[in-house]
Structure 1
Amino acid sequence: MPRLTRAESQARTRARLLEVAGELFLRDGYATTSLEKVADAAGYTRGAVYSNFRNKDELCMAVLDEIRARRVEDILAILRADTLEERVHLFEVWAEQVVGDPGWTRLELEFGVQASADETLREELATRIVALCDLIAQGVKSFEDTDGINLRMPADQIGVAMLSLGVGLGVFRSVEPKLPIGALVNTLRVLVGIPVQS
């Protein structure tokens, strides 16, 4: 087997650190997970962690970026469905599985509190939140463009409303998983102007 280049070795180390950090952050939360724990669990030294990430905040942001990127891929796949009704149905199935994931929800909340106390970190997180709202807005705008529906409010406001409702419902569902996802799905239906399902 050929020896890895330095760049390949660094990329492999970084990927492993992200994988292990993700597992620990999701299982134990932000506050409890230390860089030492990540290094030990990944089989590396603290130096390996610090050569890839400035600090725990940067590592956690990278973990959350990866989680959100997977969620965005899911949503983009849903938007490729043929009909509006099929897209809404697939969104409902996805939301039932994802909204309220206890580890992810707790990590987002803990990290949000952490970020609010640090101006630079807060700005980085704010940029990501705005990008998510914009992505949702583009998605619902595509309903108007491809399906000929009339949105009930501007797409950018729908983006903010849907992300806010999804996060809020996610927090509550992480405590009580039986809360119905229908409130989120039917809000989407109302906002894009299609009939509500009971």
Structure 2
Amino acid sequence: MLDSRYYRAVSNSVRFAYAMTRQPAKRTRLTREQSRDQTRARLLDAAQAMFMRKGFVGASVEDIAQAAGYTRGAFYSNFRSKSELLVELLQRDHEVMQADLRAIFAENMSRDDMEARVIQYYSRLPQDNKAFLLWVEAKLLAARDARFRTRFNAFMKDKRDQLVAYIEEFSARAGTPVTLAPELLVIGLMGLCDGVQFLAASDPQHVTPTVVTEVLARFFARVVFGRDA
């Protein structure tokens, strides 16, 4: 017969094996660059939340750092100022929006399908673009701060140039000449979309998704797509 020492040994082995399975997995040590990227990403996310809640002026560096779980020193080791961080937030949002537009033009689709996708893209901005108020804050700051205005306007010029390129590509692929110079068309398009988003944000009861789609569809049909609305 097996004696008690055997059972104790088996029991100890089982407990040891169970304990080993309960050990937390070792964390992979981040490189200095990875750690810095993680810190910047957390500061950016915290800043976006703070700017949306308190506004650019109302949110302090301390608010942002605390929300991200860092110190004021960590903020200034990554960003020289709140305005620099704001521009990076705008750039991040712009890149996401551009990726969505590129996806539309990257596919080989019919003119009707392309028009429908463009309308769908712009119509959903008031509901999906959580960063819209950041753009409002940036425009207010640009109107009051000459230094920020210079940097912001250069960024907006690049944004308009990219939209001009998309309009020209659409015109070429659809075989429809635009009725207005693309540079002027982009200014009108951006102004319309900004206005619709602002109205949808401030008066969602009346400026509903259905209204937004109707307004944009008719504008695009007449001015961009060259169709009768």
Is the structural similarity TM-score above 0.5?
yes
Taking the aligned partners of 1:32 and 1:155, their CA distance within structure 2 comes to 38
What is the correspondence of 1:47-196 to structure 2 with a 5 Å cutoff?
47-81=73-107, 82-99=109-126, 104-177=131-204, 178-179=206-207, 180-181=211-212, 182-196=214-228
Q: For structure 1, which runs of at least 5 residues remain unmatched after alignment? A: none
Structure 2 equivalent of residue 38 of structure 1: 64
Q: Residue 150 of structure 1 contacts residue 192 of structure 1 at CA under 8 Å; is this kept in 2?
A: no
**Unaligned 5+ residue runs, structure 2?**
1-26
User: Relative to structure 1, is the Cα distance of residues 102 and 15 closer, same or farther in structure 2, using a 3 angstrom cutoff?
Assistant: closer
Q: Which amino acid aligns with 1:184?
A: L
Q: Tell me if the contact between 1:16 and 1:42 (Cα under 8 Å) persists in the aligned partners.
A: yes
Tell me, what secondary structure is at the counterpart of 1:4? Answer: coil
Larger radius of gyration: 2
Shift of 1:170: 1.5
Quick one: which amino acid aligns to residue 15 of structure 1? Answer: A
> Counterpart in 2 of 1:28?
54
Moved segments of 4+, more than 6 Å: none
Give the fraction of aligned pairs with identical amino acids, expressed as a percent.
26
Change (3 A) 1:28 1:48: same
**Number of aligned positions between the proteins:** 197
Q: Secondary structure of the equivalent of 1:14?
A: helix
